[in-house]
Amino acid sequence: MPEEKLRVIGIDGGPRKGWNTARAVGEALEGAAEAGAETSLYRLWDMNFKGCASCFACKRRESFLRGACAFKDGLSPLLDALKGAAGIVMGSPIYLGDVTACLRAFWERYIFSNLNYDADNPSVMKKGPSSVVVYTMNVPSEAIPKMGYDALFRLHAGFLGRLNGDFVEQIAVCDTLQFEDYSMYHAPMFSEEHKRRVRDEVFPGDLAKARAAGRRLAGG
C-alpha cells in the first residue's frame, strides 16, 4: 500500500494575487511539497463566506458537531479540507493593525468551533494541524513593538496553539513594496528607492523563511 501523504493547506488572506502575501504563502506551500506533502491553496478573498454567526451549535451539549462549524456557506469546503490536515500556512497583510477581515472571519469559524468552554479541557481537537502564519506589512521590523504587533502575534499564537498542533510559527515580512510605481500614488512617507532595496535584499530571505517553515509543516 502506498503511504498516504501528509496534507498541508495554504490559506491566502490577502486580496492581491501575486503580491507579497500570496508569494509568501506560495513559497511555504512549495516548501511543503518539496518535503513530500500534498498541498492545496485556498484564497479567502475569492470565497463567499461570513464570520461566526454565534449560533453556538458547536457548543451544544448534545451536539455531534463539537469541533466543527455547523454554518454552511462558501467556507465549508475549506473547513472540510482542514479535517486531518497536518499543517496550515496562513498569510495576511496587516490591515489597520490586524489580519484582514477575511482571515479573521475564517479564524472565528475554524478556531472558535474548536474551543471548549471548559477550563480543564479547552480544545476539542486533541491533535490538530501545526500552523504557520505569514504577516506582511508596511512598517519596518523595528517598529513592531511600538505598533503593538508583537502583542497581536502572541494573541494569535495563543488561539492557534489551542489547535494542539506540534508548533505555531509566525513570520513577519516587513517594509514591503506596496506599489509597482510609487510615482502614481500620494505616499510621501515612503521612499520607493528604500522599498525596492528591501524587496531586492530582504524579501528573498523572508521567502526562504516561509519555504523552510512549509517544509517543517510537512515534517521536513
Ligand X SMILES: Cc1cc2nc3c(=O)[nH]c(=O)nc-3n(C[C@H](O)[C@H](O)[C@H](O)COP(=O)(O)O)c2cc1C
- Residues binding ligand X (CB under 6 A): 14, 16, 19-22, 93-97, 136-139, 176, 178
Query: Which three-class secondary structure string do you get for the chain?
Result: CCCCCCEEEEEECCCCCCCHHHHHHHHHHHHHHHCCCEEEEEEHHHCCCCCCCCCCHHHCCCCCCCCCCCCCCCCHHHHHHHCCCCEEEEEEECECCECCHHHHHHHHHHCHHHECCCCCCCECCCCCCEEEEEEECCCCHHHHHHHCHHHHHHHHHHHHHCCCCCCEEEEEECCCCCCCCHHHCCCCCCCHHHHHHHHHHCHHHHHHHHHHHHHHHCCC
CA atoms of 202 and 176, how far apart (whole Å)? 9
For ligand X, which is the closer residue by CB, 17 or 83? Answer: 17
For ligand X, which is the closer residue by CB, 20 or 114? Answer: 20
Nearest-approach distance from CB 101 to ligand X, in angstroms: 10
For ligand X, which is the closer residue by CB, 85 or 99? Answer: 99
Angle at 165 between CA 213 and CA 157, to 5 degrees: 75
Nearest-approach distance from CB 24 to ligand X, in angstroms: 8
Nearest-approach distance from CB 220 to ligand X, in angstroms: 25
For ligand X, which is the closer residue by CB, 94 or 217? Answer: 94
Kindly give the pairing relationship between strand 38-43 and strand 87-93. Answer: unpaired
Nearest-approach distance from CB 65 to ligand X, in angstroms: 34
Nearest-approach distance from CB 179 to ligand X, in angstroms: 9
For ligand X, which is the closer residue by CB, 20 or 39? Answer: 20
For ligand X, which is the closer residue by CB, 20 or 131? Answer: 20
Nearest-approach distance from CB 41 to ligand X, in angstroms: 14
